[in-house]
Amino acid sequence: MKPQLIIDSNERGLLCESIERKAKKAGLVVARKPLVVGDYLLGGACVEAKSVGDLFQSSHSGHLWRQLDNMDANYERFFIVIHGTVEKYLAMARNNGRAKLTYSKVQNELIGTIARLMSDFDCQVFYCNNVSEAASFVVRLHGKLHKPASKHGAHSIRRVASNDLRLDMIMTVPGIGQETAEKLLEKCGSIEEMCFPDSIKQVKGLGEVRRKMLVNILTSEEPVRQERKVRR
């Protein structure tokens, strides 16, 4: 049985309503509970949804980056869903007195923010044009995250291929992408050094959950299994 799709009890608005409606239509069990961080909980994965305007505002205030730190510390996987177009945000900004704001400036800031999300936090980002697309993505993501592995194991084996076998090995750890793997090797120098928690403590983009998992994988004499916990 698939875990519930949990919506933060404080979440309101068109996106929230659309997700709830589409999820129930797909046969998912939807519940509203207070979440410490994130808007939606899909089993062990956390989703934060933001309009383009919300993304910029929270980035400038620093709130976005604190949210990412909290998600990184509490969840093995986390996603940012951005909805809305550059054109819509630009029109709204100009109506609010920012007449000199240009399309290229907004687009560059959006691309730069997404790039930072993905590189600094190893966060997975999905961008869509409107609320309906964002809602469909969250519901489909829930289904994909909890889909049984195929008979060929295509969903259970993470296939990677770089020019460094050490990178390939590190990237098989859930939640660690190439950017973070490269930072680990740069900081530690070798996989052997990663066995020591203090050696990887300062690696940016690697939260407490993944730090513990990595050390456990590298040092445990027993099988290591990935646990899916709903954190509230």
Parse the chain into domains and list their residue ranges: 5-145, 165-219
Residue 226 has a pLDDT of 60
CA pair distance 226, 173, nearest whole angstrom: 10
Is residue 109 within 8 Å of residue 86, measured between CB atoms?
no
Confidence band, pLDDT 50/70/90 cuts, at residue 227: low
User: In the CATH scheme, what architecture does the domain 165-219 have?
Assistant: Orthogonal Bundle (1.10)
**CA-to-CA dists, residue 174 to 100, 154, 165, 197, 212, angstroms:** 44, 15, 17, 18, 12
Its CATH class, for the domain covering 5-145, is: alpha beta
Q: Which of 113, 144, 99 is nearest to 51 (CA)?
A: 113
Selection from 142, 120, 140 nearest residue 128 by Cα? 140
pLDDT tens digit string along 96-127? Answer: 888 888 999 999 999 999 998 888 877 889 99
| CA proximity to 196, closest of 215, 182, 209, 211 | 215
What is residue 148's predicted lDDT score, i.e. its pLDDT?
60
